Amino acid sequence: MKHLLFSLSMLLTPVLLPAQAHIHADGSTHADHEDEAAAEKPASDAGHFTVYAESDRYELTLYHPELVAGQEAHLTLYVADYATNRPIEKAELNISTAENPKQIFEVHPVSPGVYEVHATFSENKTCALNVHVAHPNGADLIGITGIAVGKKLHEDAAAEDHTHSTPWLWFVGGILLGGLAMWFVSRRRSRALTAALLLGSAWFSTPNWNPAFAHGDDDHGPKSGAGGFGKSVHAPKETQFLFEILTQPIAVGDYQSATTMFGTIIPASGGMGAVVAPQGGRVTRVQVAVGQTVRAGQVLAVLHQNIGTPDQVGIAANNAGLAVQLETARARMAAAKREMERLKNIADIAAAKDVQAAEANYHTALAELQTLESKALGANAAANNRTVSLVAPISGVVGAFTLAPGAEVVAGQTLFTVTNLSRVYVEAQVYDREVPVIRAGNKFLVTCSTDDHKSAEVRLISQAQTMNAGNQSQRVIFEMDNPQSEFKIGEFVTLKALNRETSRQISVPNSALTEINGKSAVFLKDGPELFSLRYVQTGEDDGTRTLILKGMEEGKKVVVSGAYEVKMMYLNQ
């Protein structure tokens, strides 16, 4: 049994021992550099060849399938701004080739930065294209080399498979040598020879059996940017355009240090209005919905008032008194009318002044009766129609409410809220050490505490008038325009007071920073479709930009938009 177990262990040793690797000067292996090379050069199974060219203005990426002489070819050309990676839209492209000056290239725009090229190549050979770009950003002539007409997509892949087929011979040889060692053990001849054969089998069975040599002069992986921080990221140009991955050159510039404070968004004057029930009643109609934009004075709902017993008694008493007054007025008017008619009948013997007095008395009684009748009609209408229209106090957006037709409300109950966020206030907590920077001439920026990429400039409108009894901070009020309603009432924000002094340092937009493994990092663009991770040491930020203390130098291009998408590609590769 012991001999059997020992024999099995020697047989499995060539398989279980790890393969050796070529170690480079930076500590990486050939496998690492092969990954980086794969990221730098698109695989042939992508279905097309990729060729790059660039100038100080534009960056060209050309995708083309297998090109066959005499057959019409459809190529896709991506044109981007060299510094920002922004797609170049509505450019005029004229393409020619020195190998065949008469060859015609038809260019059709497909989408921003993407152009389709139609051409028929006359012969199978490697050629170069001269692309003349006419655009408001400036005219340029760029040469694209290395377009292989007649080359097959999988030629390189087949050659690579051939070069990697040899290690299997060493594996088989190791197995045979292990079997020979088993035979020696079973014969119990020489333990020293058995051990030598065992080590030899482990050595020869490894795919890369050559000794490890450290070298630092070979050019492996990305030309620049990887910095030994991990794999590079290959992002196709079409993906970059789709996710709006933009870059910015890294340069030393003026930086304003800032003092950080904290605050809360509160409504501006006239920025929030409440609609309360003037008295108890029943809602008969609701004319708005939650989230609806309304104007000041617009009817939100209709309320039918409830009248209690005391009010009903008062109304009845008022109506009774009004009825007595009406009857008295009618009797007075009838008597005045009879007296006037009597005097007119005997006008030939009656005194003229008596007739005139009778007419005046009649008209006075008639006017009094008409006034009382109008008052009675108004009282009856009010008693029969006790509705109140509830209107919006300001223009804005209707907040959440639970009212429905038929709902009963009480006097003083808040029924609706209307909010206008186009202008809001920021109430900041300022301590004694920060008071000197709160000056009207300074520039102030507010940043959302949960999204460092959202910021806006604010204006100081009121110095501290009250103190916070809990922490003895001063309450300073700032005003901020908020046309897109990005900041909400009650939101916590970070306030930056920019100091007047500036310094020359490297800084990047806050949108460029990400976090990987608990460390601050950025992504650098090393090639048209190649990005690499770079860990950095950050300093203070002014609300929009952050100082970079270590890990970055001028001349590189950093991703400032779409860093999250590049990060996901980096983590998922």
DSSP string, 285-336: EE---TT-EE-TT-EEEEEEEP--HHHHHHHHHHHHHHHHHHHHHHHHHHHH
Ranges assigned E (strand) in 350-398: 387-391, 396-398
pLDDT band at 186 (very low <50, low <70, confident <90, very high): low
8 Å CB contact between 114 and 238: yes
pLDDT the model gives residue 256 = 64
pLDDT the model gives residue 8 = 40
At residue 116, φ and ψ (nearest 5 deg) are -100, 130
Both tokens assigned to 167: 């290690």
Q: What percent of the chain has pLDDT over 70?
A: 71
Residues of the chain with CATH 2.40.420.20: 232-255+502-572
- Out of 3.40.50, 1.10.3470, 1.10.3210, 1.10.287, select the CATH number for domain 309-384: 1.10.287
d(CA 5, CA 300): 89
Burial class of 471 by CB neighbour count within 10 A (0 to 12, 13 to 18, 19+): exposed
For residue 437, which amino acid is it? Answer: V
pLDDT band at 356 (very low <50, low <70, confident <90, very high): confident
**pLDDT mean over 135-160:** 82
pLDDT the model gives residue 129 = 93
Residues of the chain with CATH 2.40.50.100: 272-307+387-419
Among 249-253, 377-381, 471-475, 511-515, top mean pLDDT goes to 511-515
d(CA 495, CA 476): 11
pLDDT the model gives residue 115 = 96
Among the residue ranges 380-384, 386-390, 442-446, the one predicted with the least confidence is: 380-384
Q: How far is CA 333 from CA 320, 364, 373, 385, 512, in A?
A: 20, 8, 13, 31, 92
Burial class of 563 by CB neighbour count within 10 A (0 to 12, 13 to 18, 19+): buried
**pLDDT mean over 430-453:** 71
Containing H/E element for 161?
helix 155-163
**Average pLDDT along the chain:** 77
pLDDT the model gives residue 471 = 76
User: Domain 48-152: what homologous superfamily?
Assistant: Macroglobulin (MG2) domain (2.60.40.1930)
Q: Which residue has the higher pLDDT, 199 or 209?
A: 199
Residues of the chain with CATH 1.10.287: 309-384
Among 151-160, 252-261, 343-352, 534-543, top mean pLDDT goes to 534-543
pLDDT the model gives residue 468 = 76
User: Residue 465, CB half-sphere, CA atoms under 13 Å: how many?
Assistant: 5
Count other Cβ atoms within 10 Å, centred on residue 302.
17
Q: Which residue has the higher pLDDT, 399 or 309?
A: 399
R_g of the chain, CA atoms, integer Å: 45
**pLDDT mean over 90-118:** 92
pLDDT the model gives residue 446 = 84
pLDDT the model gives residue 7 = 42
**DSSP-derived 3-state class of residue 78:** strand
Residues of the chain with CATH 2.60.40.1930: 48-152
Among the residue ranges 37-41, 192-196, 487-491, the one predicted with the least confidence is: 37-41
pLDDT the model gives residue 180 = 57
Residue 351: partners with Cβ closer than 8 Å, 6 or more residues away: none
pLDDT the model gives residue 75 = 93
pLDDT the model gives residue 15 = 41
Q: Is the pLDDT of residue 280 over 60?
A: yes
Among the residue ranges 63-72, 170-179, 317-326, 369-378, the one predicted with the least confidence is: 170-179
Over residues 234-266, the pLDDT tens digits come to 999 999 999 999 999 988 876 666 777 788 999
Q: Which fold has domain 272-307+387-419?
A: OB fold (Dihydrolipoamide Acetyltransferase, E2P) (2.40.50)
Among the residue ranges 260-269, 284-293, 534-543, the one predicted with the least confidence is: 534-543
pLDDT the model gives residue 344 = 80
Q: Is the pLDDT of residue 311 over 70?
A: no
pLDDT the model gives residue 339 = 83
Among the residue ranges 360-364, 431-435, 438-442, 457-461, the one predicted with the least confidence is: 438-442
- Out of 2.40.420.20, 1.10.760.10, 3.40.50.300, 3.40.120.10, select the CATH number for domain 232-255+502-572: 2.40.420.20
Q: Is the pLDDT of residue 349 over 70?
A: yes
pLDDT the model gives residue 317 = 58
Burial class of 161 by CB neighbour count within 10 A (0 to 12, 13 to 18, 19+): exposed
